[in-house]
Amino acid sequence: MQPSPADDADAPAPRIEPAGRGTVVVGHDGPGAADHALRRAGELARRLDDVLVVVRAYSLAGDAPWASSPPRQDPSASEVGAVVTDELRRDVARVLGHHDGAVLLRVEHATAVRALTAVSDGADMLMLGSHGAQAGPRHDDHPGSVSRRCLRDATCPVLLVGPGTDPAPRGPVLPRRRTPDEPSPWTPSRHHLEVLIGAGTLAPSMHNTQPWTFWTAGADLCVGLDGARLLPAEDPGSRAAVLSVGAVVTNLRCQGAAGDLGTDVTWLPPSRNGRTALAAVHLDPGADVDHELATLALSIPLRRTRRRPMSGRPLTASAERDLALAASSEGARLLPVPRGTTREALLELVDEAALLDRVDDPRHLERDSWTGGVRTADGIPERSFGQQDRGRAVIRDFAPGVPSAVRGWAAFEPDAPLYLLGTVRDDEIGWLRAGAALEHLWLVATSRGLAMSFLNQVLERDDLRRRTRALVDDAVWPHMVVRLGYGDPPVATPRRPWQSFLT
């Protein structure tokens, strides 16, 4: 058997079509380690409503382990491809059982690395088993090198999945999708509600308005908006308020996992008993819990907005990768703002927003009613404004130039790394996912000693938001302009008592 053209560096390689946005791509090279990655990818695709794309690569080299019966001599690439496709179809059915979302099989005559990086170009996530080649015959790449090279070359976030992260090692594992009215004998106790709502309401919200209401429906904890706590001048479409519901849901999932409660989230569930929620979190004491989320629960009380100077130490590559992964795992993107002209152009738009704000009385009045002074239940107290900046502002200053006995002055880091957190969809689902992603990556950041603040004023006017979007990636709607750096959590902002959210 001759080496395949795919293995011959001189032969022109045929183009491999990327699966594109709205997909989770997973490599699968046959029974074994890759099964875990396939299960996890199936779960993620279902949560994101993404298409699951399963990739297997093959070559024409003789000892390929993909064929159940030895291929006859010199089979053509398409004959081999048909055999491999058949094998892959069987493997996917064996591992996923009934998967209630779209699944595409991609069998590529190429090396595993080339197939995986090309198909996953622009995807929401590429998932691989954490050891060995995960998409093709092991002889076409050195063991382990596929994941390493994909981590280096893929243009989308890459997640390596080990067997230890798979809660159910055999058989179909995807939970049957719950119908909204399915009766459940278990309901959360008052203690559950106190712990969950207490953690949920530590989530961030614009101006700390805490615009949430909670109620139960059987084993579901529902989260909706409190119409009396919206910001019609600064958040006219309630995008920021909806986003903060997504953040609450991440806290509920983490705190649930920490308390041995499995959770299953339905965004925008149908109305029940005349009430409309933005999210229903189904609580299940019998379900497997996600241990990574349980660990993140430790960071919930420490996550705070830091409007103070950061240390100036650059983010490590692994921190940056983990934050991007946390965002992608919720269906959002964390996009670095390139230094130089792009960053400069963004800061000019921020300045423009500040200028427009100066003459906008309705926005001023609204902001003043939620920020400044001493506050014990909601809003942003003056002590959380951070210091006034001696140079160019990299924080949102809620009282620029106003003398203060509380704040003091400081020089902020001049080249703070900035990012846009965004989603492809700009509707309620997109906003909820952005909020879930914001809190997920913020908890990861907190656990690594990182802190964040925001320059969102530039996203609160449609024209400036469109110009911000055009600066970095036209296909991604920005929801948060994030400043990141190493720094301790500052003093906490207040929250209302948990019972006041229960309606």
Considering only CA atoms, give the Rg of the chain: 25
Q: How far is the CB of 357 from ligand FMN (least distance, A)?
A: 11
Q: How far is the CB of 17 from ligand FMN (least distance, A)?
A: 36
At 332, which amino acid appears? A
The residues, any chain, with a CB within 8 Å of residue 248's CB and separated by 6 or more, are 200, 201, 203, 212, 223, 279, 435, 439
Q: How far is the CB of 449 from ligand FMN (least distance, A)?
A: 16
Identify the residue among 47, 56, 308, 396 touching ligand FMN (CB under 6 A). Answer: 396
Identify the residue among 40, 47, 304, 461 touching ligand FMN (CB under 6 A). Answer: 304
The position carrying tokens 């280096």 is 152
Identify the residue among 4, 117, 263, 305 touching ligand FMN (CB under 6 A). Answer: 305
CB closer to ligand FMN, 211 vs 269: 211
Residue 380 touches ligand FMN, criterion: CB under 6 A: yes
Residue 457 touches ligand FMN, criterion: CB under 6 A: yes
Indicate the residue whose CB is closest to ligand FMN.
Answer: 204
Q: How far is the CB of 395 from ligand FMN (least distance, A)?
A: 6
Tell me how far apart the alpha carbons of residues 210 and 378 are, in angstroms, rounded to a whole number.
Answer: 7
C-alpha distances in Å from residue 116, one per residue of 18, 147, 448: 9, 10, 30
* CB-based burial label for 114 (10 Å; 0-12, 13-18, 19+): buried
Tell me how far apart the alpha carbons of residues 1 and 60 are, in angstroms, rounded to a whole number.
Answer: 7
Q: Contact 205/480 with Cβ under 8 angstroms?
A: no
Would you say the C-alpha torsion 501, 265, 299, 241 has a positive or negative sign? negative
Residue 299 touches ligand FMN, criterion: CB under 6 A: no
Identify the residue among 36, 56, 207, 407 touching ligand FMN (CB under 6 A). Answer: 207
Residue 204 touches ligand FMN, criterion: CB under 6 A: yes
Reported as half-sphere exposure (CB side, CA atoms, 13 A), residue 225 has a value of 19
Residue 206 touches ligand FMN, criterion: CB under 6 A: yes
Q: How far is the CB of 493 from ligand FMN (least distance, A)?
A: 4
Q: Contact 453/463 with Cβ under 8 angstroms?
A: no
CB closer to ligand FMN, 329 vs 457: 457
Identify the residue among 111, 130, 208, 423 touching ligand FMN (CB under 6 A). Answer: 208
CB closer to ligand FMN, 109 vs 304: 304
Give the single-character DSSP code of 212: E
Helix (H) and strand (E) counts in the chain: 12, 15
Tell me how far apart the alpha carbons of residues 181 and 340 are, in angstroms, rounded to a whole number.
Answer: 53
Q: How far is the CB of 240 from ligand FMN (least distance, A)?
A: 4
Residue 240 touches ligand FMN, criterion: CB under 6 A: yes
Residue 388 touches ligand FMN, criterion: CB under 6 A: no
- Count of other CB atoms within 10 angstroms of residue 228: 8
For residue 216, give both structure tokens. Answer: 């139960």
Site size toward ligand FMN (CB under 6 A) is 20
Residue 453 touches ligand FMN, criterion: CB under 6 A: yes
Residue 307 touches ligand FMN, criterion: CB under 6 A: yes
Q: How far is the CB of 292 from ligand FMN (least distance, A)?
A: 22
Residues of the shown chain interacting with ligand FMN in the complex, contacts defined by CB under 6 A: 204-208, 240, 243-244, 247, 304-305, 307, 380, 395-396, 453-454, 456-457, 493
